[in-house]
Structure 1
Amino acid sequence: MAVAQVLTSEWTKIRSVRSTVWTLGLAAVVTIGLGVLISILSKNEFENLHAQDKLAFDPTFVSFAGTSLGQLAMIVFGVLVVSNEYSTGMIRMSLSAVPQRGTFLFGKITVATALALAVAMVTSFASFFLGQAMLGDLRADIGDPGVLRAVIGGGLYMTLIALFSMGVATMLRSPMLALGILMPVFFLLAPILGNVSATKKIGQYLPDQAGSKIMQVVPPLDGDAPYGPWGGLLIMVAWVVVALAGGYVLLKKRDA
């Protein structure tokens, strides 16, 4: 089957499954809504902060506070895009129609990534502008140094979260197993390793801990990471490449 036909087929699959579409919408709503709420709370509490905390206040990063929860929906989206066919048994028909497994995986990943990127970029810009509106005189402008990079980086971060989840789901095939691993890693293991002094040097190289640096404009007070915003994003990209490569190798080797 030609690549164009594979892409069309994958697009039809994704938009015909309501759960995948709803998760993207939920990612946007949660990210924007929580970002607005945290921005309001941050403005109200700003005067109560210590002098050092005021100097390290990052209005841009505050507006992306919802990303920590919104990425949950992106993880679910990435897992469902891949594992839905395994859970329903449709994967056998798909691989019979597209026996070139590299082409099959490329088509699925390409369509899902394009959709995730579009939603993530709209979400990131909306989170920024609405969050800054709530911050009032504490707000940052899109033209300030590092701000546009952070806003675009927010969209890239969310997209890479979905891509990483697709790679893991391709390796594991089971949606429950994939979510059972990804959720604890992103919402328990990574925050713990990243905030405990004994394990912080390890935690800062996990995909979300490294990738989120791209959304920061003002360095945090305890920021001692040996890489900058783009370095952190590259670390996250490396994780994504490893996950996708692992998924491709296993897809090639085993039966459907």
Structure 2
Amino acid sequence: MKTVTTTISALPPRLDLPPDAGGGFLGAVRSEWTKLRTVASTWWTLAAATTLLLGGMAIAAVSTRSQHADGNPAAFTSSAPFITGEVMAYLVQWSIVILSVLMVTAEYQSGSIRNTLQWVPDRARMLLSKVAVLVPLLLVLGMVFGAVGLGIAILGLGEFGEAFTTDDAYNVVVGVALYLPMLGVFALGLAAALRGAAQTISIIFVVLLILPLMLPAIGLETVAAYLPGDAGVNLMRGTSHPIYPRPVGGLIVLAWSLTSLATGYLALRKRDT
């Protein structure tokens, strides 16, 4: 008894931390932000997105100018907002998909997901903390990319670009800023459900690009119109879809994102790691 008493008394006193000293939802958010900004893949994907934006705009401008330089009466021409939306939809968005997917799948690949779920055992809190980090980042990135892309398109197209209004320019920048966070949440939720980067990116590629191109060819234009890829393209172009107005397109993408996030949460609840 004397030995036990001595041992217990020799232990350091229990450290009672205040409720706001880490932990909770804000602690989980800080942890996710630290992970996101300290891994090399984040900076590589953002660099790739920037490169695709600049390269895509340059190609569109050079292609338009070269056609007009040859005096071709049927030369392609378009407006700067339209070109910005196209480059974002067919090039830049894939870097955003990869960034969002890797926030989940990289942890499964390295095995660090076990540590994450030990520190944040509440699956909803863990998943929402990733969303809370990803959405503001992509919102700001979308505004910057939309504005920079539009400016480059205006300079690149020059006198060969079609006229557009201030509202058109505003709609494109806002559309890109809204679409990228919703796309990120869509990819994040699907990654949480599937756990693997290859299968997640493959499915997203089919949903965003292949199906919107394939379904109209077999008479299913209406089905394609309600996919996130088709709705997202029109949202970023700043134009309404032939079937529904532009705000409805944003709601369609949002619905896909929330459904994907809910699916990822349910999958996380049903398995250990």
Q: Same fold (TM over 0.5)?
A: yes
Contact 1:207 1:239 (C-alpha < 8 Å) held by counterparts: yes
Deviations 1:42-65, CA, capped at 9 Å, x for gaps: 2443564659x86xx433111333
Alpha-carbon distance between aligned partners in 2 of 1:234 and 1:24, rounded to the nearest angstrom = 26
Structure 1 position 12, deviation (Å): 1.0
**Residues 15 and 145 of structure 1, relative CA distance in 2, 3 Å threshold:** closer
Contact 1:58 1:216 (C-alpha < 8 Å) held by counterparts: no
What residue in structure 1 maps to residue 155 of structure 2?
133
Indicate whether 1:199 and 2:220 are aligned. Answer: yes
Q: Secondary structure at the match of 2:85?
A: coil
Indicate whether 1:150 and 2:172 are aligned. Answer: yes
Match of 1:15 among 26, 37, 49: 37
Pairing 1:1-256 to 2, within 5 Å after superposition: 1-45=23-67, 48=72, 50=74, 57-67=78-88, 68-139=90-161, 144-193=166-215, 195-196=216-217, 198-217=219-238, 225-256=242-273
Contact 2:79 2:163 (C-alpha < 8 Å) held by counterparts: no
Unpaired runs of 5+ residues, structure 1, are none
Alpha-carbon distance between aligned partners in 2 of 1:213 and 1:162, rounded to the nearest angstrom = 17
Identity %: 29
**Residues 209 and 61 of structure 1, relative CA distance in 2, 3 Å threshold:** same
**Residues 214 and 180 of structure 1, relative CA distance in 2, 3 Å threshold:** closer
Deviations 1:102-151, CA, capped at 9 Å, x for gaps: 11111111112222222222111111001111111244788623320122
Q: Secondary structure at the match of 2:167?
A: coil
Paired residue type of 1:146? D
Alpha-carbon distance between aligned partners in 1 of 2:103 and 2:238, rounded to the nearest angstrom = 33
Unpaired runs of 5+ residues, structure 2, are 1-22
Alpha-carbon distance between aligned partners in 2 of 1:103 and 1:217, rounded to the nearest angstrom = 34
Which structure would you say has the larger Rg?
Answer: 2
Alpha-carbon distance between aligned partners in 2 of 1:178 and 1:217, rounded to the nearest angstrom = 28
Paired residue type of 2:229? D
Alpha-carbon distance between aligned partners in 2 of 1:214 and 1:49, rounded to the nearest angstrom = 30
Deviations 1:9-55, CA, capped at 9 Å, x for gaps: 1011111221122112211220232023213322443564659x86x
Contact 2:84 2:146 (C-alpha < 8 Å) held by counterparts: no
Alpha-carbon distance between aligned partners in 2 of 1:124 and 1:187, rounded to the nearest angstrom = 20
Structure 1 position 96, deviation (Å): 0.8
**Residues 148 and 142 of structure 1, relative CA distance in 2, 3 Å threshold:** farther
Alpha-carbon distance between aligned partners in 2 of 1:110 and 1:17, rounded to the nearest angstrom = 18
Alpha-carbon distance between aligned partners in 2 of 1:36 and 1:95, rounded to the nearest angstrom = 44
Alpha-carbon distance between aligned partners in 2 of 1:244 and 1:8, rounded to the nearest angstrom = 20
Q: Secondary structure at the match of 2:166?
A: coil
Deviations 1:129-185, CA, capped at 9 Å, x for gaps: 011111112447886233201222122222322221101001111122212322233
* TM-score (ref. length: structure 2): 0.82
Deviations 1:210-248, CA, capped at 9 Å, x for gaps: 1211233567xxx6x321222111111110010001111
Contact 1:212 1:233 (C-alpha < 8 Å) held by counterparts: no
* TM-score (ref. length: structure 1): 0.87
Contact 2:186 2:260 (C-alpha < 8 Å) held by counterparts: yes
